[in-house]
Amino acid sequence: MTRLILASASPRRRELLGQLGVRFDVITADVVEHEDVTTDPRVMVSRNAALKADWVAARHPDAIVLGADTTVFIDGHSLNKPRDGVEARVMLRRLSGRTHTVHTGLAVRRSRDGLALEAGESSEVRFKDLDEAVIEAYLARVHTLDKAGGYAIQEHPELIIDGYTGSLSNIVGLPLETTKQILTRCGLTP
Residue 190 has pLDDT above 90, yes or no: no
- Beta strands at 161-165 and 115-127: parallel, antiparallel or unpaired: antiparallel
What confidence tens digit (pLDDT) does each residue in 92-120 have? 999 999 999 999 999 999 999 999 999 99
What confidence tens digit (pLDDT) does each residue in 42-91 have? 999 999 999 999 999 999 999 999 999 999 999 999 998 999 999 999 99
For the domain covering 4-185, report its CATH number: 3.90.950.10
9 vs 138, residue with greater confidence: 138
Question: Annotated catalytic, 69?
Answer: yes
Sequence ranges of the domains in the chain:
4-185
When pLDDT is cut at 50, 70 and 90, the band that residue 38 belongs to is: confident
Mean pLDDT of 119-127: 98
Options 25, 30, 69, 84, the catalytic residue: 69
CA distance 177 to 187: 15
With a CB cutoff of 8 Å and minimum separation 6, the contacts of 113 are none
Residue 172 has pLDDT above 90, yes or no: yes
Q: Tell me the DSSP string of 130-168.
A: --HHHHHHHHHH---TTSGGG--TTSSHHHHEEEEES-H
Q: Which of 105, 29, 101, 36 is nearest to 65 (CA)?
A: 29
Residue 141 has pLDDT above 80, yes or no: yes
Q: Which of 82, 66, 72 is nearest to 8 (CA)?
A: 66
User: What amino acid is encoded at 77 in this protein?
Assistant: H
What confidence tens digit (pLDDT) does each residue in 12-24 have? 999 999 999 999 9
